[in-house]
Amino acid sequence: MSPHEEVAIFWDYENCRAPSNLPGHAIVNSIRDIAHEFGVITTFKAYLDLSEPVPSKSPGIRSELQSSGVSLIDCPHNGRKDVADKMMIGA
């Protein structure tokens, strides 16, 4: 791939949560390192239900992701499934 290709990262956080033993910025940097192999990152979004309580093992994960440049996209479920998936594809 050309290093000038544009890459967008769309993270379904609820189905692929961050490990609780790592800080958010370390996770974001690891994802970025992999994505940079494919080109220039233009978008980095994480889709999650912001109304859900944060696990006690990682209370600062949301602020760490956001301060690392990840856009947090609220996906309230209201009893529905696949909300994040549908938001990512624009359905």
- DSSP sequence for 49-61: -TTSPPPTT-TTH
CA neighbours within 13 Å on the CB side: how many for 91? 7
Secondary structure E strands in 6-69:
6-12, 40-48
- pTM flag (> 0.85): no
Residues 14-70: tens digit of each pLDDT: 888 888 888 999 999 999 999 999 999 999 999 888 877 766 556 688 899 999 999
Q: Please give the angle made by the CA atoms of 68, 71 and 75, to the nearest 5 degrees.
A: 135
R_g of the chain computed on alpha carbons? 14
CA dihedral sign, ordered 34, 38, 44, 48? negative
